[in-house]
Amino acid sequence: MPVLTRLIPSPVVVDIRPGALDDLASVLADERISHSGRLAVAVSGGSGSKLRERVSPSLPGATWYEVGGGTLDDAIRLAGDIKAGHYDAVVGLGGGKIIDCAKFAAARVGLPLVAVPTNLAHDGLCSPVATLDNDAGRGSYGVPNPIAVVIDLDVIREAPARFVRSGIGDAVSNISAIADWELSHRVNGEKIDGLAAAMARQAGEAVLRHPGGIGDNDFLQVLAEALVLSGIAMSVSGDSRPSSGACHEINHAFDLLFPRRAASHGEQCGLGAAFAMYLRGAHEESAFMADVLRRHGLPVLPEEIGFTVDEFVRVVEFAPETRPGRYTILEHLELKTHQIKDLYVDYVKAIGS
């Protein structure tokens, strides 16, 4: 009888609640994370100093490193700085750029990473990927999952609302990404990892159907948990498939075609997801998704983030090229320019104003 089930790479501690930062020291003191108390903590130079003031008294054995930005060079420099320190673990305390730099640096020197995100802008906070700017633009680097994730909802509430909005768009877009995965399964026989799909879909549905708003702790709790589960779903499947389909191809196309004008990751992914749901004929789901995104102050039309309809049509046309090999509703339909234009007009009518 087969008795082995698979082991899922996942953090040993997930602590999401208001005030969680006050107990960070006890989380880190876990034998599996830091037995000596020697920690390398990566923070940003600007907003990081307030957090450092608050947290450093409880971490006497920590050395603090200011990280410049979110580039591969920043991450390599950080790895070089912490290499000789004989640390037990690396702590990334800050926004997405800090977490990604810390993830990469920790992986490079073979130390576990504790992620302490200070905003909820996307699902990278607990994913096995570090996104860093490099000479060719932007790269995704495979790294181990964080060993612990601590999210203080009081800190999250202090971050600008646009970060929370971005996280909502990213979480909700899972629903469209899973639909793309299922489409590819039907058409190409691509294998679906049922557990990864379940985790990512439930994360998206929970955020989509939650009646609360960005000012409520219970909503932020669900959103933070959804983003953590999305990250773990990517570890389970071994790629970004559970959380990235046509929605993310559209997002990448915005970034690549209009690097200076691009909106936030989640704004573009949410809009991309609502449109992709319409393209796949899920008109009611598309309209419901658009309603929810609007309720949270997210865009559902390109003009709401400063793009013309023609520019959006270009984005949708270019989107499949951003992710060669990934089969989504866009690759499936192979739309011509005039078809995208017509479908966009129908989409606008369908979601109402």
Residues of the shown chain interacting with Zn ion in the complex, contacts defined by CB under 5 A: 122, 170
By C-beta, is 251 or 286 nearer to Zn ion? Answer: 251
Contact 234, 243 (CB under 8 A): yes
By C-beta, is 122 or 210 nearer to Zn ion? Answer: 122
The amino acid at residue 23 is: D
**CB of residue 269 vs Zn ion: minimum separation in angstroms?**
5
Contact 19, 152 (CB under 8 A): yes
Phi then psi for 237, rounded to 5 degrees? Answer: -85, -20
Phi then psi for 16, rounded to 5 degrees? Answer: -125, 110
User: Number of C-alpha atoms within 13 angstroms, CB side, residue 316?
Assistant: 30
By C-beta, is 34 or 127 nearer to Zn ion? Answer: 127
CB-closest chain residue to Zn ion: 170
By C-beta, is 108 or 323 nearer to Zn ion? Answer: 323
By C-beta, is 122 or 201 nearer to Zn ion? Answer: 122
**CB of residue 169 vs Zn ion: minimum separation in angstroms?**
8
Q: Give the Cα separation of 104 and 121 in Å (integer).
A: 19
**CB of residue 120 vs Zn ion: minimum separation in angstroms?**
12
Q: Of 62, 55, 135, 146, nearest to 105 (Cα)?
A: 146
By C-beta, is 170 or 249 nearer to Zn ion? Answer: 170
Q: Of 92, 3, 95, nearest to 40 (Cα)?
A: 92
Helix-then-strand count for the chain, H and E: 14, 8
> How far is the CA of 124 from the CAs of 38, 55, 248, in angstroms?
26, 23, 13
Q: Of 298, 333, 335, nearest to 313 (Cα)?
A: 335
DSSP 71: B
By C-beta, is 170 or 255 nearer to Zn ion? Answer: 170
Contact 109, 132 (CB under 8 A): no
Q: In what order do the strands lie in the sheet with 113-117?
A: 13-17, 148-152, 113-117, 89-94, 39-44, 62-67
By C-beta, is 78 or 224 nearer to Zn ion? Answer: 224
**CB of residue 171 vs Zn ion: minimum separation in angstroms?**
9
**CB of residue 138 vs Zn ion: minimum separation in angstroms?**
13
**CB of residue 265 vs Zn ion: minimum separation in angstroms?**
6
**CB of residue 240 vs Zn ion: minimum separation in angstroms?**
8
**CB of residue 70 vs Zn ion: minimum separation in angstroms?**
15
Q: Give the Cα separation of 13 and 285 in Å (integer).
A: 35
